[in-house]
Structures are given as structure tokens and as C-alpha cells.
Structure 1
Amino acid sequence: MSSSDQKPAAAPASGAAEPSPPGRPTAVSSQVLDMGAQMVQALKPVRQMKLHACSFALYAHDLRRQMEVHHFLSRLNQDVVQCAVYDSDKPSARLIGVEYIVSDTIFEGLPPEEQRLWHSHAYEVKAGLWTAVGVPEALQSSEMASLARTYGKFWCTWQVDRGDALPLGAPALMVSPQAAEPGRARGDLVRGRDERYGVDSSAGGLKAARVEMEEPEWINPNADYWRLHGKGFAVDVVQAEMKRHAPFP
């Protein structure tokens, strides 16, 4: 069965230079329905997305594979944030996954086997890789200081970096960039992002602006699992007997 560490069978060709989903153009009737629905539906969960942040993510089973990612955040409370993750901020952006972000207090209460699936954000923030697009640093500095103390669990469901025209195979666990190889963010990806959005994440830019930012007293070693163990995680899909009764109330 499919694994997040294997390339599945090819999807039908879209005919576009950049992989895009195969299919017909959106019908006028569908466009009319969408416009009408906008007028009568509240779309409350979607409207809770208040912040757009851009950063980079690496595959937990292959740190050489990296992507620029765009998080659209909604807060459940001050300690739990949920993010819809896209491959860009264009109208045609593809929803490639979801990341959940929790405070260090909540993370410390998770079982050790669960903590292994999470990554820290301290380096990502301090290095200027994570930034709220278009928001002045003076305005986002407090948010960045809080984010540096959080942990995230990011599942990628659409591996666009390998050219998938559809979400294929099993989801892949993602991790955050770190200071140590092989977990450093690729320079070409960072430069491309910085040029596109007018961001300066160099030593004289965001790094300098965040140098005085207080760092966490410690980062739980169960997070960023690969750093201590040299191993990542890949998901395999296997057949299983269907349960006839729920194992929990």
C-alpha cells in the first residue's frame, strides 16, 4: 500500500507546465452557486483565519526535501492554534496540509510517544524564517516571542514538491528547519521567498531584530526527534480488520 516515503502511481496529466489538478474548468452554474452561497452562509470556521505566515518545512523522513509553506492561522485559544497550510498565497493555491500548534505548557503534558511527532519553533522564529507576511516586525514581535515557545505537528497531504497533480498516497509528517545539518533551510528557497515578499531574513534583517528575543529555557528533546536519533517517521497504509465496536465511549 501507499507510504509517505514512496512516490505513488502518476496522476492523470493536467497539461499544465506546473502540476495542477486534472479536470474541467469550473462551470458557470458552480460559480453562480458559490456567489450565492457567499451571500447567505456565514462560513464561520473559515472567517476565523486572521493571520498569514510564511515559512519552510522539511519532510521528517527525508530532510533534503523542503518546501516553502503558507500557514493561515485561526486560534482556538491562546495555547492552541490550527493552521490550514497552502503551497502559496495565490488564489489558485493548493491546500497541502494542516499544522496544529500548542504552547510549551500543553506540549509537556503529552505522552512521550506523541511528543516525537512534534517539532519546535524556536530556531525557525529566531532565524527569521517564520514571518507574518506584510506585517511590520514591530507589530509581530510579541507574537513571534510567544511562537518561539510553541511546538507544532504538521501533516502534509499533498506532496506538490514531487510533482503530484492530486493529493496522492499517505500523509507525510513534516518538521521545522533547525540550525544543524541536514535540517537547515535551503538557501535558494529562503532567498526566493525573501525577494518575493520583500523580507530580509539575513543576519542584518529579521535575525538582528530578533536577537534579543528571549529563548525558551529548554526545548523538550522528544521534539525534533531526528536531531538526537538520526531517524524520521514515514507513514505506511496497511489493511486492517474492520472493528465492529468502538474501542472507546
Structure 2
Amino acid sequence: MEKREEQVPPGKAMSMEQHMLDKGAQMMQSLTPIKQMSQHVCTFALYSHDLSRQIETHHYVSRLNQDVLQCAVYDSDNAHGRLIGVEYIVSDTIFESLPPDEQKLWHSHAYEIKSGLWINPRIPEMVVKPELKNLAKTYGKFWCTWQTDRGDKLPVGPPSLMMSPQGASMGLVRPDLVAARDARYNISTGAMKSGRAELAEPEWINPQADYWKQHGKGFVVDVEPVEMKKMAPFP
């Protein structure tokens, strides 16, 4: 099993006063948006500009409605997991309404789900099958803001656009990553793939999605200074 190295951010340990404040806040504040997170999904993602960099991701999902989901993405599911990004998931209907240039930033989920890479840890397959059937027709846009896989102890630099695994021709997940996860959760990704064989393939996957697969080109974000637009007097 792969040994996951803890990369502790620089800084002092929390004080007793800070622990007490956090406990008090948990009792007195609503934290309503966070409490809407109703699912934990574990899967894998690849940097769109460098397919050799592949990471395990943990998505904590909340629903805005039947067509739009939002995910806080962590690098692990333990108490010290780092928030490494955000993914938005939309139905095929919503995706088809997006401009073509926007669609290029999104990836499809069909292969990820059919192959067994997308799992809901500790939830029986028979319980999640109806959800998987719907999710196989969705698209996601995932920005990584903290590249812990390269050893960053803080979220530095611009965000990176991530892609979904798309099979042997483009974005095959490293076997050691899959084996390590299988061992940790006592599952078989191969068995899940076989059990999902009856899940129907989407009738249509928009070719603007998975742009990396279609064109062999990824996207990167650069940072450059610009003139500020002053909406009010600036002190």
C-alpha cells in the first residue's frame, strides 16, 4: 500500500483558546451550507496539462438542485485532509446550454463511473446504483488550488484545471493508486466495474467536453497584473 506522507503546513499548533472557540462556535452557529454536504465520493483526477500527475480525491457533495451539485475537494478523508479545490457538477441539459469555449473546461463522468473509479466509500453498491445512473450523464469542472501531490505545504500559485480519467488512450489511472485505495477501503475496483456493466452509456457525450482527449491540449492559468477598475474612490 502506498504510504501517504503528511505535509504539515507551517504554523503553530492551535491553542486551548482556539479549540474552545471552535467548539463553542459549532454549538452556537448554524454552519448551514456545510451541513448540506450529504455525500462523500472518492475518485481520481489528472492535471489537464500533465497527465503523469494523478491524484486521489475526496469530494464532499451538496446539491443545489437536481441539475447542479457542488463539491469541496480534499486530498484525504482523515481529520487532517487539506481542502485542495472545488468541483462543480451539472446535468447534460445544463451543460448543453453553456458556450462552446466554456464547455472545453469541463469533463464527462461516464468512464469514471463505469470503470469503478468513482466510489461512495462504505455505501453498498445497490444503494448508489440509481445515483450512478444519473451521474454518468453529468459533466464536471474541477479547479485544484493546492497541489499537495508535489509537496506544497501551502496553496501557492494559480489554480490548475483537472480532468477525469478517460481510459487507456488518455488518462489511465496508475494501478498503484487504485490498489492503495482498494486496500484502504477493502474493495475491488475491478469487481465494481463488472457490477456496473449494465449501467447504460450516455446516448451523447458532447465532444467539446474532455477537450484534452479530443485535441491533446490542456489548459493552464497564468497570473498577470492588470489595471484596477475603480468603482469607488480609492483611498
Cα deviation for residue 220 of structure 1 reads: 0.5
**1:145 and 1:165 mapped to 2: Cα distance?**
38
Match of 1:11 in 2: none
- Asked if residue 242 in structure 1 is aligned to residue 225 in structure 2, the reply is no
1:1-249 alignment runs, 5 A limit: 18-202=6-190, 205-245=191-231
Please report the TM-score for the alignment, with normalisation by the length of structure 1.
0.90
Match of 1:6 in 2: none
Give the aligned residue type for 1:214: A
**2:96 and 2:106 mapped to 1: Cα distance?**
11
**1:181 and 1:240 mapped to 2: Cα distance?**
40
The answer to whether the 8 Å contact 1:64/1:182 transfers is: no
**1:220 and 1:242 mapped to 2: Cα distance?**
37
Cα deviation for residue 18 of structure 1 reads: 3.0
Give the aligned residue type for 1:218: W
Runs of 4+ in 1 over 6 A off after TM superposition: none
SS at match of 2:189: coil
Number of residue pairs matched? 228
Q: Once the two structures are superposed, what CA deviation does each residue of 1:20-62 show, in whole Å capped at 9, x if it has no partner?
A: 1000000110000011111111100000001001000000110
Give the aligned residue type for 2:30: A
RMSD after superposition? 1.1
Match of 1:12 in 2: none
Give the aligned residue type for 1:45: P
Alignment identity in percent? 61
**2:133 and 2:173 mapped to 1: Cα distance?**
21
SS at match of 1:217: coil
**2:59 and 2:6 mapped to 1: Cα distance?**
21
**1:245 and 1:222 mapped to 2: Cα distance?**
36
**2:169 and 2:152 mapped to 1: Cα distance?**
27
Please report the TM-score for the alignment, with normalisation by the length of structure 2.
0.95
Which blocks of at least 5 consecutive residues in structure 1 are unaligned?
A: 1-16
**1:201 and 1:141 mapped to 2: Cα distance?**
15
Give the aligned residue type for 2:221: V
Give the aligned residue type for 2:204: W
Give the aligned residue type for 1:126: K
**1:200 and 1:148 mapped to 2: Cα distance?**
20
The answer to whether the 8 Å contact 1:56/1:177 transfers is: yes
Cα deviation for residue 19 of structure 1 reads: 1.7
Q: Once the two structures are superposed, what CA deviation does each residue of 1:86-133 show, in whole Å capped at 9, x if it has no partner?
A: 000000000000000000000000000000000000000000000111
Cα deviation for residue 184 of structure 1 reads: 0.7
